[in-house]
Amino acid sequence: MDRRILPAMENRMSARSTPAPFDLLKAEAFIRGENTLAVVSERSFDEVAARLEASVAAGAFALVQVHDLGEMLHGRGLDLGHRCRVYEVFNAALSAQLLALDPGLAHTLPCRIAMHDQGGVVTVSTPMPTVVMAEFSHAAPVARLARTIEAALQRLLRAVQ
């Protein structure tokens, strides 16, 4: 991973209450971290959401549910201060293969994609299936399938850029 990205990522993790410096992140629109895949964009939140939803519709995934966490919290009298959504997406063929290999991995489905804005930058991220599934299974066929799912998610996120 490009070492220029690490300080910006660490700042994001340690300074949640203040906008983090995104200059280094903006230079790398697609980021492959240790545990997540992410895309950053200076487009508006609504434009990124539309691009994500179009990417899901055009690709191998189906949109299962969208959770608008900002609205849910606002409805309970809490203001997040920025917009935040979680998209649940599902690839039927790959999910069926995964469940055939190990039904105990059902809790890793559907895949979740988070989207939030902060400091004029919208970030779209998802946990890497290769990392998540490795926590629950060490079977080689599961690892191969996790790489396939991860590649599909990468294509979906790259289309958001």
Task: Indicate if the pLDDT at residue 18 is higher than 60.
Answer: no
pLDDT, tens only, 73-129: 989 999 888 999 999 999 999 999 999 999 999 999 999 999 999 888 999 999 999
Output the domain CATH number for residue 40.
Answer: 3.30.310.70
- Residue numbers of the domain that contains 64: 5-158
Identify whether the C-beta of residue 161 lies closer than 8 Å to the C-beta of residue 41. Answer: yes
pLDDT, tens only, 26-65: 445 667 778 999 999 989 999 999 999 999 999 889 999 9
- Total number of domains constituting the chain: 1
Mean pLDDT of the region 129-136: 94
Summarize the chain as % helix, strand, coil (round to 5). 50, 25, 25
